Structure 1
Amino acid sequence: MVTFRTKKLMVTVFAAVSLLFVANGATAELQAAEVKQPAGSKSHKLPATLETTQWGWLDPNEPPKLTVDSGDIVSIETMMHSHNKIQPGTTMEEIVALRKANPGGGPHSVTGPIYVNGAEPGDVVEIRILRITPKAFGFNFNLPGKEFPTIGALAAEFPEGFVRYFNLDWKNRQAEFKPGITIDLKPFPGILAVGIDPNDPAPRKGGAKDAMAPVSTLRPWKNGSNMDLNELQEGSTIFIPVFLKGALIWVGDAHCQQGNGEVNLTGLECAFREFVMQPIVRKD
């Protein structure tokens, strides 16, 4: 059973032997506050580069890009989709080509993995989301329905596809949809994952039978991954079971706004200048 809890929402779904728990705190107050450094902990930064990110796959054999202790503060940068290849002005034809360039994998760029000292299979990692700051633009697109008829609920309405880019006004936490209509920005990571469960039935890259082969970022699994859970905003906490030594944490698929799901395939996709978290290994 998987249970998500916040002050506004509790959703219970059934899954195989897994526990994910989200608690949403006083978000508005935390947004205005500075992140306080706990006594005895360290601060780390992990920039998003081609060496620290992967496109579309969670590979448990990927060497850790950062090693931290339980309770440390970690500031993570993320990229736009497809290793930053989607930028304002990228056409729908180019987006489709990028989609096809990584068969089976997701479009998402994920930063990591981050190794947490002391995390062992059977533990739980508590991840406190302390601060989120997005970069300057976002986008929303619907793939061409004539070519991708089963992706998104609006495929028939957009046979040629559609993409729109947005400037993000973080000072006022808004984006202009059109004159007189604004969208409130409420950023969260679409993907927050730990290393895969070797016993998870998720398909492996290229149909590999190796339990430690990469798993696509397209779907959520027991390790979190592409949950697209819009409650994972600044001030929330999530508890994820640990399946591999060091936990191995990835962050990506940044969203600046989304409803309860991605009806047309995407939310207001963006990238994070900083995603500040505190991972805590729980053995209780």
Structure 2
Amino acid sequence: MRHLILAVCAAIVVPIAAHAATYELKATPHTVAWGHYDATDKPVLTVKSGDTVVIHTLLTNSPTGLEKAGVDPVLIEPALRAVYEGVPASSRGPGGHILTGPIAIEGAEPGDTLEVRIKKVDLAIPYAYNAFRYGAGFLTDDFPYARVKIVPLDAKRMIGRFAPGIEVPLAPFFGSMGVAPPPSFGRYDSAPPTVNGGNMDDKAL
């Protein structure tokens, strides 16, 4: 859904590289971790301190779900279709977030502090969505049904058209970002945040 441009630094561990490189990491069936953080997942990219990575990310809805909600099929990213078709069920979960990575930083060790600078966030598609379902969230008993709302986005004006006459200013941020959890956690659910970061949904970070 978004293109994320990061500058990564292994704080204190290694000096900033004299000739930093820029990489692009696309979301494919071979470069995503679906629904989990896991210390045993192998890195799909290794960079040095000071390098920049342009990361392509995907939303958490399915192509079928988006089409059912009213999205024109031509506006659904081919990468999202490829990931849904190419990642086996055994590699998914227990959460639902499609996370691009993991990325290793050369010289970093478990327990080190990492500094990651988000330089820019670009919108990759002209829509977003809001959704809720029964059994999840705080008001589930008040709304015992499911609903998905597609929100058209205007990237030039940086607004979302929530409803006729209602425009919402956009300030994109990443809800889920983290490092590998302790090995004892196993395949940790991407939904609840924990000591490694994860689904924090805090735009102030």
Structure number having the greater strand percentage? 1
Offset from partner CA, 1:194-219 (integer Å, 9 cap, x none) = 01023xxxxxxxxxxxx262111011
Structure 1 residues not aligned, in runs of 5+ = 1-34, 92-97, 199-210, 233-284
Quick check: 1:89 aligned with 2:68? yes
Q: What is the aligned counterpart of 1:106 among 87, 95, 110?
A: 95
Query: 2:131 maps to what in 1?
Result: 141
Alignment of 1:1-284 (within 5 A): 40-81=19-60, 86-90=65-69, 105-135=94-124, 136-144=126-134, 148=135, 151-198=136-183, 211=184, 213-232=186-205
Q: What is the CA–CA distance in structure 2 between the aligned matches of 1:164 and 1:39, rounded to whole Å?
A: 47
Q: Is the 8 A contact 1:65 1:112 kept in 2?
A: yes
**Residue type at the aligned position of 1:142:** F
SS of alignment partner, residue 87 of structure 1: helix
Distance in 2 of aligned mates of 1:81 and 1:40: 36
Question: Aligned partners of 1:84, 1:141: CA distance in 2, in Å?
Answer: 15
Deviation at 1:168, TM superposition (A): 1.2
Counterpart Cα distance in 1 of 2:181 and 2:45? 18
Q: How many angstroms apart in 2 are the aligned matches of 1:154 and 1:160?
A: 11
Partner of 2:110: helix, strand, or coil?
A: coil
Deviations 1:88-134 (A, max 9, x none): 4349xxxxxx9xx8997222110100010010123100011100012
Query: What is the CA deviation profile of residues 199-242 of structure 1, one whole-angstrom value per residue up to 9, with x for unaligned ones?
Result: xxxxxxxxxxxx2621110111111111111224xxxxxxxxxx
| Matched letter for residue 121 of structure 2 | I
Q: 1:86 to 1:113 in 2, by over 3 A?
A: farther
Q: 1:86/1:126 Cα in 2 relative to 1: closer, same or farther (>3 Å)?
A: farther
Distance in 1 (alpha carbons) for counterparts of 2:152 and 2:102: 30
Normalising by structure 2, report the TM-score: 0.75
2:56 and 2:93 map into 1 onto residues whose CA distance is 25
- What's the CA shift for 1:83? 6.5
Residues 39 and 182, structure 2, Cα contact 8 Å, conserved in 1: no
Report the identity percentage.
36
Q: What whole-Å deviation, never above 9, does each CA across 1:67-102 have from its counterpart, x for those lacking one? A: 1001100110111215666424349xxxxxx9xx89
Tell me: CA distance 1:229–1:85, structure 2 relative to 1, closer, same or farther (3 Å): farther
- 2:130 alignment partner AA: N
Q: Which runs of no fewer than 5 residues in structure 2 stay unpaired? A: 1-6, 8-16, 71-83
Pair 1:214–1:163, CA change in 2 (3 A): same
Runs of 4+ in 1 over 2 A off after TM superposition: 82-91, 101-104
Normalized against structure 1, the TM-score is what?
Answer: 0.55
Distance 2:61 2:166 in 1: 29
User: RMSD over aligned Cα, in angstroms?
Assistant: 2.5
Contact 1:54-1:83 within 8 A present in 2 as well: no
